[in-house]
Amino acid sequence: MKRRTKVLRSAVRYHYSQHCLWLAGIGDDCKVVLQGEFMGKWELVMDDDEMESQSPYRLMDVILLPMLILKFIDTEQFQRQVLRDLKQLGLAHMVYPGAVHSRFEHSLGVYWLAGDAVQKLQAHQGLELGIDRFDIETVKLAGLLHDIGHGPFSHVFEREFLPRVMDEPKWSHEEMSVKMVDYIVDEHCIEIDSDSLKKVKEMILSSSEMALPKSTTKKQFLYDIVANGRNGIDVDKFDYIVRDCRACGLGCNFQFQRQIPFVLCGLKIQQLMETMRVMGDEICYRAKDWPYLQYLTSAYVWILCLDLTIHKLFATRADLHRTVYTHAKVKAIELMFVDALLKANSYLGLSSYVHDPAEYWKLDDTVIKTIETANDQELRESRDLLRRIRRRDLYQFCNEYAVPKDRLEFFKDITPQDIVCSQKASGVNLKEEDLAVCNVKINLTHGRRNPLERVKFFKDYDSEEMFSIADDRVSHLLPLCNEDMIVRVYSKKPELVEVISEAFENFQLKTYGLKTQVHETPEKKKRRRP
């Protein structure tokens, strides 16, 4: 059985038969190739001219989806969560119009990257590590399902809305992903080995180091591929960093095919692609020029060392947070959206959905349309806020400041009450509901800790010793502080911008003894009279 298809100018589309599915080109242009079994092996049906016509912005080539994977994909729960109705970047598309990619694309990308990573390790150290088909399928399935527990508009629902309506311990999308996996398996009677299912769920939770299974004594490195709680280097970051940069029209300094041999950005640089090696049950990287490091003392040392490349991974992630995820306008829209959800929660009961996977999967980005088109009087205030967003009548940015480095350790989130209490006597009495405060935390990945300190290197493939490389042995230009905390204040009413800005300035003077704000309205200088 063979079938040819043309390039489809659309979102990701896929088709499958009773045999298997090939999906190609996750991007603006995508190619679907239905492939049958021929001469005992799989052959891709694609002409040379068809290959050339694929979008150069695709992140990866064809992806083979076995039947077990399709059983999870072809469920209403997975389709809801990652195909149609959950944008990867939440509300960022209202500032970056290209940021409309969904979690379906990201999940397929992580699925492919996870499988390729473990297969490369198997090719180089398969006998030594005992990597088998069971391990490969488990890691790939964890990559596919790692984000299935996300709520509407990405992290906004989890980090901004739920903490204000729930009194119980912190809720996380990782834990909900695990519940959703169990629910899908039970609801659709998917036959899967119990040990495999258990490991899939453990791998989803492994982004937290505390969640790593303590009883596991072998193949602990498998838990660092999808979500790495040890040092943050994982295929989840590899995919979303490049995908988000491309969607938002930003350059990407990090070329993650250097880490593992993925041809993802159309680049042929493979210098670092084969450096992964498992030592001491941990994925390590080869420091190719380590012998030269001890002799170099210049202010900026240019060396072909993985330490700099890995630092670019974390630095690019931080840049995305600064320029996209926490963009001042994006946060203003998110604050308004959260206020709309809070006002609608008592009527729609949105917060109750998070306790039951059977109900939670019905919650997606379409909640905004549900509120906008409803005629219920109870949703009037929410509708008004959403109408303001549509008409670009946003909360007004007043000012922001970066918390001094020596205050980061003891910093507590600033609240509207803190700003209101700092208001001096004036003709206007501010209320907490007149303003919104956004506490933005941007770091490399492990809070204030340097994630590079937890990355292990080895000298060469004959060496059995692994070690860390201090930043000052690589470059003196690497940052000494690995976290920024920025406090932003917004006015919900345009006429209160000046009053709130003054109160915010007073708060800074009272707290730090100086104004640390970034923006300041310049005073109009007096002209010299003739």
User: What does the domain layout of the chain look like in residue ranges?
Assistant: 1-65, 68-394+460-477, 396-444+482-521
Predicted confidence at residue 234, as pLDDT, reads 87
- CA 497, CA 267: separation in Å to the nearest integer? 48
Predicted confidence at residue 198, as pLDDT, reads 93
Which residues of the chain fall short of a pLDDT of 70? Answer: 1-62, 80-84, 208-217, 251-274, 288-309, 446-448, 470-480, 516-530
Reported as half-sphere exposure (CB side, CA atoms, 13 A), residue 348 has a value of: 25
- The residue among 452, 512, 456, 455 whose CA lies nearest residue 482 is 452
For domain 68-394+460-477, the question of CATH label 1.10.3210.10 is answered with yes
Predicted confidence at residue 529, as pLDDT, reads 64
CA distances (Å), 185 to each of 52, 104, 145, 154, 324, in order?
40, 19, 12, 24, 36
Q: Using the 8-state DSSP alphabet, how is residue 81 labeled?
A: I
Predicted confidence at residue 26, as pLDDT, reads 36
Residues 6+ apart with CB under 8 A from 296: 303
List the CATH code of the domain at 396-444+482-521: 3.30.70.2760
The CA radius of gyration of the chain, in Å to the nearest whole number, is 25
Is 397:497 a contact under the CB 8 Å cutoff?
Answer: no
Each residue's pLDDT tens digit, 292-348: 333 333 223 333 345 556 777 788 888 899 999 999 999 999 999 999 999 999 999
CA distances (Å), 159 to each of 95, 171, 387, 421, in order?
20, 9, 23, 26
Pairing of strands 457-458, 282-286: parallel
Predicted confidence at residue 188, as pLDDT, reads 92
- CA 224, CA 458: separation in Å to the nearest integer? 18
Predicted confidence at residue 413, as pLDDT, reads 92
Predicted confidence at residue 418, as pLDDT, reads 95
Pair of tokens at residue 484: 């920024």
- DSSP conformation letters of 200-230: HHHHHHTTSGGGS-TT--S-GGGGGTSS-TT
Predicted confidence at residue 74, as pLDDT, reads 86
Active-site positions read: 173
Predicted confidence at residue 307, as pLDDT, reads 53
Predicted confidence at residue 249, as pLDDT, reads 85
The backbone torsions φ and ψ at residue 234, rounded to the nearest 5 degrees and listed phi first, read -150, 165
